[in-house]
Amino acid sequence: MDRRKQILINSMIRFLKNELLSSTLTAEKKESLEVAVQCLETTFEVETYGNLQEVDLLSFITDINDKQKEEAEIHKTKGNEHMKNSMYQEAIDEYTKAIELNPYNAIYFCNRAAAFTRLNKDNEAIQDCKEAIKLHPTYGKAHGRLGIAYSNLNKFDLAVESYKNAMLYDPDNSIYEANLQIAQERLSLSTPARDAPRFPRDISEFINNPNIINMANQVLSDQNFASMMSNLINNATRNPDGMPNTVEAMLQAGQALAERVVSEDPDFYNRVTRNINAANQQNSNDNSTNPETKPSGQNDPKDS
């Protein structure tokens, strides 16, 4: 099939799929629309097209005259000048005026997204980038700026996807490759090592249990136990070999303390073991990510 026809069919299907997201359609109408999409995909073997360019069909049906388009371009140019002078809110105002005059130009949305990003309004930037991509799906700069906004919100998985799309549609722009590497590094850092040791919360609560503390105090205040500990330490310090025997004495003292605690509470060891196992199980299943600081080094191509 002729490539132009493939682009037309692909764009028609994209339009119908976008309509499925409309809240104005009933469930019955959406079901009929899904059947229509499936029929088109089967008839024209859409799955064989691959990453084919799409166009916004609605952009060809406008009531915008040439005068409006010219005025919109004037506001866009003013917006670009404000961006150069770091007057980002003024730039947003000019781009908004351009959009009001011509809402079918993807460049206006993409440029306003850049201004929103400068003011740390990343959610607004994301919406504008998506609108630009909807109007112009192969607009590499819109995908790239979407990646920057996602990176600023620490959504590095989405940022990586956006940068890859930017490189696909604008392969000669090295900025996207550099930003992709930064996002991939941030993504790897945002996932903690599975084997990283962490003090178990359950063990902390167990050790701080008043009953355990009280039992330990009773053992340590016992005169016989204190005398035994003193003898161990004195024998070690009198030994001319010094430190090795002192360490051995401390180990013996610790063992003696553990034996005394167990004699006072036979279930002590079992409770400690259960808590350790529970804590280890919790650590092995914990896949939460640590929040990252706002990434630096993200580059943005100049405005159109």
User: For 249-263, how does the pLDDT look when each residue is reduced to its tens digit (9 = 90+)?
Assistant: 555 556 665 666 556
Domain 3-55, what architecture? Up-down Bundle (1.20)
Angle at alpha carbon of residue 144, lines to 140 and 149, rounded to 5°: 145
74-91, pLDDT tens digit by residue?
Answer: 999 999 999 999 999 999
Query: How high is the pLDDT of residue 176?
Result: 93
Residue 285 tokens read as 């299943």
Query: What per-residue confidence (pLDDT) applies to 8?
Result: 82
Mean pLDDT (the chain, rounded): 77
Whole-angstrom Cα distance, residue 163 to residue 80? 23
Between 51 and 149, residue with greater pLDDT: 149
Provide mean pLDDT across the span 105-134.
96
pLDDT band at residue 46 using 50, 70 and 90 as cut-offs: confident
pLDDT at residue 152 tops 80: yes
Confidence band (pLDDT; 50, 70, 90) for 96? very high
Long-range contacts of 42-47 (CB under 8 A, 24+ apart): 44/1, 44/6, 44/9, 46/9, 46/10, 46/13
CATH topology of domain 66-189: 1.25.40
Torsion, CA 252, CA 255, CA 256, CA 262, rounded to 10: 180
- pLDDT, position 157: 95
Domain locations in the chain? 3-55, 66-189, 201-285
